[in-house]
């Protein structure tokens, strides 16, 4: 990895881009570094990467040194099956519970805290755990938050006796808005000094997504033997997501930032600054 590598989330939610980069020719002339959202968050904050998808709250926490690539996000209008709270009890009973958080992301932590505070008037004790259900995470917690492929597997292979809550759906019920989970962030100084490279990456990322979405059935078949999901389930899941970043998504994200700030989770962000590219 060098600092001009393009970060890449190694979850199914980025399948359209993976496929566009690997099968559509959009990965040519790019060095790509794949990792979890939490790992990519750390790499871009420490400038070991200069362009990468990051948990959307990372931009709010580092807006003085980051800008956002236009027209690209990982968003969902409603429930999305990959941000899941698994609980021993109904969510209304988690007022003072211990809740384990995935160690793989950041935005979802804030999302859960906002939902628990505003929708359920709850103040649980949160802690980060790398353990899965099979590894006994609920031996020390009343509920656990999963994201990405872990959450998708939990959603499609639900166990009797547990309660499952989709936080995308919970956010929609609370605010009536879509949720922006990830944006493509750039180091501000790097973007200013490397305009041609940023333009190339913008065209490859947006073009790669478009190619992958056009060929999503073929893309899904490349993963059906890797995960305990059928190609049809993968296509359905991708259809729940949105990869653009419209003015409506921008306003929804600013709402999330405002609510996160009110809970002391991030600075007050009233606007999002985008990298300058030719669209």
State phi, psi for 83 to the nearest 5 degrees: -130, 95
Q: What are phi and psi of 232, to 5 degrees?
A: -65, -40
- How many whole angstroms from its chain centre is CA 55? 5
Residue with tokens 């970043």: 245
pLDDT, one tens digit per residue, over 87-119 is 999 999 999 999 999 888 788 999 999 999 999
Across the chain, the runs of DSSP E, i.e. the strands, are: 6-9, 32-35, 51-55, 66-76, 83-87, 98-101, 125-128, 143-147, 163-166, 179-187, 241-242
C-alpha to C-alpha distance for 207 and 274, rounded to whole angstroms: 18
The predicted structure's pLDDT at residue 227: 79
On the question of pLDDT at 200 being above 80, the answer is yes
> How confident is the model over 23-79, as pLDDT tens digits?
999 999 899 999 988 899 999 999 999 999 999 999 999 999 999 999 999 999 999
Q: Is the pLDDT assigned to residue 241 strictly greater than 90?
A: yes
Q: Cα–Cα distance between 266 and 185 in angstroms, integer? A: 17
The pTM of the full predicted model, rounded to 2 decimals, is 0.93
- Pairing mode of beta strands 6-9, 32-35: parallel
The domain over range 6-76+179-263 is classified in CATH as 2.40.50.140: no
Report pLDDT for 106: 82
Give the C-alpha separation, 222 to 229, whole Å. Answer: 11
- Domain limits, CATH 3.40.190.10, in the chain: 6-76+179-263, 83-175
Strands 66-76 and 125-128: unpaired
Q: In this model, does residue 10 exceed pLDDT 90? A: no
Phi and psi (nearest 5°) for 13? -65, -15
Tell me the CATH number for domain 83-175: 3.40.190.10
């Amino acid at each position: 990895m060098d600092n001009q590598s393009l970060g890449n989330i190694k979850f199914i939610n980025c399948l359209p881009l993976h496929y566009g980069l690997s099968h559509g020719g959009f990965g040519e002339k790019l060095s790509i570094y794949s990792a979890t959202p939490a790992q990519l968050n750390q790499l871009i904050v420490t400038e070991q990467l200069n362009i990468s998808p990051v948990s959307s709250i990372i931009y709010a926490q580092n807006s003085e040194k980051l800008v956002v690539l236009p027209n690209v996000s990982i968003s969902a209008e409603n429930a999305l099956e990959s941000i899941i709270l698994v609980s021993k009890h109904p969510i209304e009973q988690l007022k003072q519970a211990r809740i384990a958080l995935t160690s793989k992301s950041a935005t979802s932590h804030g999302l859960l805290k906002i939902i628990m505070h505003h929708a359920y008037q709850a103040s649980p004790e949160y802690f980060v755990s790398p353990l899965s259900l099979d590894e006994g995470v609920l031996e020390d917690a009343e509920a656990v938050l999963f994201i990405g492929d872990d959450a998708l597997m939990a959603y499609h292979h639900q166990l009797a006796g547990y309660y499952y809550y989709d936080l995308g759906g919970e956010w929609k019920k609370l605010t009536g808005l879509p949720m922006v989970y990830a944006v493509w962030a750039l180091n501000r100084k790097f973007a200013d000094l490397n305009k041609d490279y940023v333009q190339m990456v913008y065209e490859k990322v947006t073009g790669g997504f478009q190619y992958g979405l056009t060929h999503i059935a073929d893309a899904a078949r490349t993963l059906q033997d890797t995960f305990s999901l059928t190609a049809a389930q993968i296509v359905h899941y991708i259809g729940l997501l949105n990869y653009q970043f419209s003015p409506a998504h921008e306003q929804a994200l600013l709402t999330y930032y405002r609510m996160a700030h009110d809970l002391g989770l991030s600075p007050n962000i009233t606007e999002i600054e985008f990298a300058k590219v030719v669209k």
